[in-house]
Structure 1
Amino acid sequence: MRSPARPLTTGLRALLAATVAAAGLTATVVAAPPASAATTVDGLTQATAAASCWEIKQLNGSAPSGQYWILTPQLKVPTRIYCDQTTDGGGWALIGRGRENWTYNYDGLGTPAEVAGTVSGTGAFAPRQLGAATVTALMGGKRIDDPTYGSGVRLRRATDQAGATWQESRWTFRSDSRDRWTWAFGAGLPLASFTIGGGSGAEATTRNVGTDDAFQRIWTAEDAANGYTRGFTYGSQVTGSTSASSYIYSKNAGGVYGVPFTQVYLRPKLMSSQLSFASVPNAGTAAETIRAAPRSGALATSWGVTGLGAGGTAETAGEVQAFAQIGGTVYVGGNFTTVQKGASASGSDVVSQPYLAAFDATTGDYLRSFTPRLDNQVKSLAALPNGKLAVGGEFTSVDGSARKGLVVLDPQSGALDASWTTNLVNKLTGGIVSVRGLDVGGSYLYLTGAFTHFTRPDGSERYAKGGARINLSTGVVDTAWNPDFNGTGTAVDASDDGSAVYFSGYFTTMRGGAAADRAAAISTASGAAKVADWQPTFSTAGSARYQQAVKQVGGKVWLGGSQHSMFSYDPSTFALENAHITKDGGDLQAITGGNGLVFGGCHCEQWNYSDTTQFDTTSPGSTSTTWSQADKIYYVGAWDARTGDYAPEFTPEMRARQGRGAWALMVASDGTLWAGGTMTSAVKENGANQWVGGFARFAVRPHTAPSRPSNLAVSVSGTTSQLTWSGSAPSGGTFEVLRNDRVIGLTTANQLSVAGASSGDRFAVRAADGWGNRSASTAVVGPPAGSVTTVPVVTAGSTWSYLVDNTVAVPSTWRTPTFDASGWRTGTAALGWGTGAIATNVDVPSGSTRPLTSYFRKQVTVRNAAALTSLVLTTRADDGIAVYVNGTEVGRSNLPAGTLTAGTYATSAQSTATATASPVSWDVPTSLIGSNGAVTIAVEVHSNYRLTPSMSMDLTLTGTS
Structure 2
Amino acid sequence: MRAHSQLTWRTGLRAAIALAVVSTGLTIAAAPASAAPVVDGLTQATAAASCWEIKKNDSSAPSQVYWILTPQLKVPTKIYCDQTTDGGGWALIGRGRDGWAYTYDGRGTAAEVAGTVTGTAAFSPRQLGSTVIDGLMGGKRIDDLTYGSGVRVRRARNAAGTDWQESRWTFRSGSRDRWSWALPAGFPLASFAIDGATGSGTTTRNFGTDDAYKRIWTAEDPANSYTRGFTYGSQVTGSTSATSYLYSKNGGGAYAVPFSQVFIRPKLLSSQLSFTTVPDAGTAPETIRAAPRNGALATEWGVTGIGAGGSAETSGEVQAFAQVGGTVYVGGNFTTVQKGASATGSDVVAQPYLAAFDATTGAYIRSFTPKLDNQVKSLVALPGGKLAVGGEFATVNGVSRAGLVVLDPSTGAVDTGFTTVLANRLTGGKVSVRGMDVSGGYLYLTGAFTHLLRPGTAERYAKGGARISLSTGIADNAWNPDFNGTGTAIDVSDDGTTVYFSGYFTTMRGGAVADRAAAISTASGANRAKEWQPTFSTAGSARYQQAVKQVGGKVWLGGSQHSMFAYSASTLALQNTHITKDGGDLQAITGGNGLVFGGCHCENWNYSDTSDFDTTTTPGSTNISWSQADKIYYVGAWDAKTGDYAPEFTPEMRAREGRGAWALMVASDGTLWAGGTLTSAVKENGANQWVGGFARFAVRPHTAPSRPNSLAVSLSGSDARLTWSSSAPSGTTYEVLRNDRVVGLTTSKELTIAGSVSTDRFAVRSADAWGNRSASTAVVGPPAGAPVTTVPLVAAGSTWSYLVDKSVTVPSDWTARTFDAASWRTGSAALGWGTGAIATNVDVPAGSTRPLTSYFRRQFTAQDVGSLTRLTLTTRADDGIAVYVNGTEVGRSNLPSGALTPTTYAGSAPSTATALASPVTFTVPPSLLVDGTNTVAVEVHSNYRLTPSMSMDLALSGTK
Equivalent-residue separation in structure 2 for 1:517 and 1:700 (angstroms): 36
Instruction: Give how far 1:21 is off.
Output: 5.2
Instruction: Give how far 1:731 is off.
Output: 5.4
Equivalent-residue separation in structure 2 for 1:381 and 1:189 (angstroms): 41
Q: 1:16 to 1:662 in 2, by over 3 A?
A: farther
Equivalent-residue separation in structure 1 for 2:21 and 2:73 (angstroms): 17
Determine the structure 2 residue equivalent to 1:744. Answer: 743
Structure 1 segment 867-878 matched on structure 2, within 5 A: none
Equivalent-residue separation in structure 2 for 1:308 and 1:727 (angstroms): 55
Equivalent-residue separation in structure 1 for 2:554 and 2:743 (angstroms): 42
| TM-score calculated relative to the size of structure 2 | 0.79
1:315 alignment partner, one of 295, 313, 316? 313
Determine the structure 1 residue equivalent to 2:277. Answer: 279
Equivalent-residue separation in structure 1 for 2:428 and 2:167 (angstroms): 61
Instruction: Give how far 1:20 is off.
Output: 2.1
Equivalent-residue separation in structure 2 for 1:294 and 1:308 (angstroms): 29
For the pair 1:716 / 2:715, whether they are aligned, the reply is: yes
Structure 1 segment 624-643 matched on structure 2, within 5 A: 624-643=623-642
Contact 2:27 2:753 in 1 (8 A): no
The 3-state SS of whatever aligns with 2:271 is helix
Question: What is the CA deviation profile of residues 334-360 of structure 1, one whole-angstrom value per residue up to 9, with x for unaligned ones?
Answer: 000000000000111000000000000
Q: 1:209 to 1:732 in 2, by over 3 A?
A: farther
Contact 1:708 1:776 in 2 (8 A): yes
Instruction: Give how far 1:244 is off.
Output: 1.0
Determine the structure 2 residue equivalent to 1:201. Answer: 199
Structure 1 segment 538-937 matched on structure 2, within 5 A: 538-621=536-619, 622-730=621-729, 733-785=732-784
Equivalent-residue separation in structure 2 for 1:314 and 1:97 (angstroms): 43
Contact 2:434 2:487 in 1 (8 A): yes
Equivalent-residue separation in structure 2 for 1:380 and 1:46 (angstroms): 55
Contact 1:731 1:769 in 2 (8 A): no
1:44 alignment partner, one of 23, 42, 45? 42
Q: 1:494 to 1:38 in 2, by over 3 A?
A: farther
Equivalent-residue separation in structure 2 for 1:219 and 1:114 (angstroms): 25
1:20 alignment partner, one of 19, 22, 25? 25
Identical aligned residues as a percent: 78
Contact 1:675 1:695 in 2 (8 A): yes
Q: 1:98 to 1:36 in 2, by over 3 A?
A: farther
Instruction: Give how far 1:786 is off.
Output: 8.0
Instruction: Give how far 1:456 is off.
Output: 1.6
Instruction: Give how far 1:429 is off.
Output: 2.4
Equivalent-residue separation in structure 2 for 1:228 and 1:102 (angstroms): 11
Equivalent-residue separation in structure 2 for 1:6 and 1:772 (angstroms): 23
Counterpart amino acid of residue 772 in structure 1 = G
Name the stretch that deviates more: 609-618 or 640-649. Answer: 609-618
Question: What is the CA deviation profile of residues 701-728 of structure 1, one whole-angstrom value per residue up to 9, with x for unaligned ones?
Answer: 0011111111111112222111111115
Counterpart amino acid of residue 203 in structure 1 = G
Equivalent-residue separation in structure 2 for 1:314 and 1:566 (angstroms): 23
Question: What is the CA deviation profile of residues 566-595 of structure 1, one whole-angstrom value per residue up to 9, with x for unaligned ones?
Answer: 000011211100000001110000000000
| TM-score calculated relative to the size of structure 1 | 0.79
Equivalent-residue separation in structure 2 for 1:663 and 1:142 (angstroms): 39
Instruction: Give how far 1:203 is off.
Output: 1.2
Structure 1 segment 331-346 matched on structure 2, within 5 A: 331-346=329-344
Determine the structure 1 residue equivalent to 2:861. Answer: none
Equivalent-residue separation in structure 2 for 1:592 and 1:37 (angstroms): 58
Question: What is the CA deviation profile of residues 492-522 of structure 1, one whole-angstrom value per residue up to 9, with x for unaligned ones?
Answer: 0000011100000000000000000000001
Equivalent-residue separation in structure 1 for 2:730 and 2:539 (angstroms): 54
Determine the structure 2 residue equivalent to 1:223. Answer: 221
Instruction: Give how far 1:171 is off.
Output: 1.2
Contact 1:72 1:140 in 2 (8 A): yes
Equivalent-residue separation in structure 1 for 2:598 and 2:502 (angstroms): 15
Q: Cα RMSD between the aligned structures?
A: 1.9
Counterpart amino acid of residue 673 in structure 1 = L
Equivalent-residue separation in structure 2 for 1:304 and 1:94 (angstroms): 42
Equivalent-residue separation in structure 1 for 2:745 and 2:516 (angstroms): 55
The 3-state SS of whatever aligns with 1:54 is helix
Contact 1:730 1:769 in 2 (8 A): no
Counterpart amino acid of residue 561 in structure 1 = G
Instruction: Give how far 1:785 is off.
Output: 2.2
Equivalent-residue separation in structure 2 for 1:777 and 1:322 (angstroms): 44
Determine the structure 2 residue equivalent to 1:157. Answer: 155
Question: What is the CA deviation profile of residues 728-761 of structure 1, one whole-angstrom value per residue up to 9, with x for unaligned ones?
Answer: 5545530000000000000000111111121221
Equivalent-residue separation in structure 2 for 1:786 and 1:43 (angstroms): 34
Structure 1 segment 378-393 matched on structure 2, within 5 A: 378-393=376-391
Question: What is the CA deviation profile of residues 601-648 of structure 1, one whole-angstrom value per residue up to 9, with x for unaligned ones?
Answer: 000000000000011222342210010010000000000000000001
Determine the structure 1 residue equivalent to 2:323. Answer: 325
Equivalent-residue separation in structure 2 for 1:459 and 1:337 (angstroms): 35
For the pair 1:175 / 2:180, whether they are aligned, the reply is: no
Equivalent-residue separation in structure 1 for 2:90 and 2:114 (angstroms): 12
Q: 1:514 to 1:132 in 2, by over 3 A?
A: same
Q: 1:21 to 1:641 in 2, by over 3 A?
A: closer
In structure 1, the gaps of 5 or more residues are: 8-14, 24-34, 789-961
Equivalent-residue separation in structure 2 for 1:37 and 1:323 (angstroms): 65
Determine the structure 1 residue equivalent to 2:531. Answer: 533
Contact 1:706 1:730 in 2 (8 A): no
Equivalent-residue separation in structure 2 for 1:6 and 1:616 (angstroms): 54
Question: What is the CA deviation profile of residues 369-424 of structure 1, one whole-angstrom value per residue up to 9, with x for unaligned ones?
Answer: 10000000000000001211000000000000111000000000010000111110
Equivalent-residue separation in structure 1 for 2:268 and 2:772 (angstroms): 27
Q: 1:542 to 1:399 in 2, by over 3 A?
A: same
The 3-state SS of whatever aligns with 2:200 is strand
Q: 1:458 to 1:39 in 2, by over 3 A?
A: same
Equivalent-residue separation in structure 2 for 1:648 and 1:21 (angstroms): 37
Equivalent-residue separation in structure 2 for 1:163 and 1:573 (angstroms): 61
Q: 1:479 to 1:17 in 2, by over 3 A?
A: farther
The 3-state SS of whatever aligns with 2:252 is helix
Q: 1:643 to 1:37 in 2, by over 3 A?
A: farther
Determine the structure 2 residue equivalent to 1:123. Answer: 121
Contact 1:17 1:734 in 2 (8 A): no
Determine the structure 2 residue equivalent to 1:504. Answer: 502
Counterpart amino acid of residue 20 in structure 1 = G
1:234 alignment partner, one of 232, 253, 273? 232
Equivalent-residue separation in structure 1 for 2:452 and 2:36 (angstroms): 78
Equivalent-residue separation in structure 2 for 1:674 and 1:476 (angstroms): 32
The 3-state SS of whatever aligns with 1:617 is coil
Equivalent-residue separation in structure 1 for 2:245 and 2:204 (angstroms): 22
Equivalent-residue separation in structure 2 for 1:458 and 1:326 (angstroms): 31
Equivalent-residue separation in structure 2 for 1:661 and 1:714 (angstroms): 57
Equivalent-residue separation in structure 1 for 2:41 and 2:310 (angstroms): 63
Equivalent-residue separation in structure 1 for 2:527 and 2:702 (angstroms): 42
* Larger RCO of the pair (alpha carbons < 8 Å, separation 6+): 1
Determine the structure 2 residue equivalent to 1:289. Answer: 287
Name the stretch that deviates more: 198-207 or 373-382. Answer: 198-207
The 3-state SS of whatever aligns with 1:411 is coil
Determine the structure 2 residue equivalent to 1:377. Answer: 375
Contact 1:5 1:18 in 2 (8 A): no
Equivalent-residue separation in structure 1 for 2:660 and 2:652 (angstroms): 11
Question: What is the CA deviation profile of residues 470-496 of structure 1, one whole-angstrom value per residue up to 9, with x for unaligned ones?
Answer: 111111111101000000000000000
Counterpart amino acid of residue 615 in structure 1 = F
The 3-state SS of whatever aligns with 1:331 is strand
Instruction: Give how far 1:286 is off.
Output: 0.7
Question: What is the CA deviation profile of residues 150-185 of structure 1, one whole-angstrom value per residue up to 9, with x for unaligned ones?
Answer: 100100011111111111111111122211111001
Counterpart amino acid of residue 86 in structure 1 = T
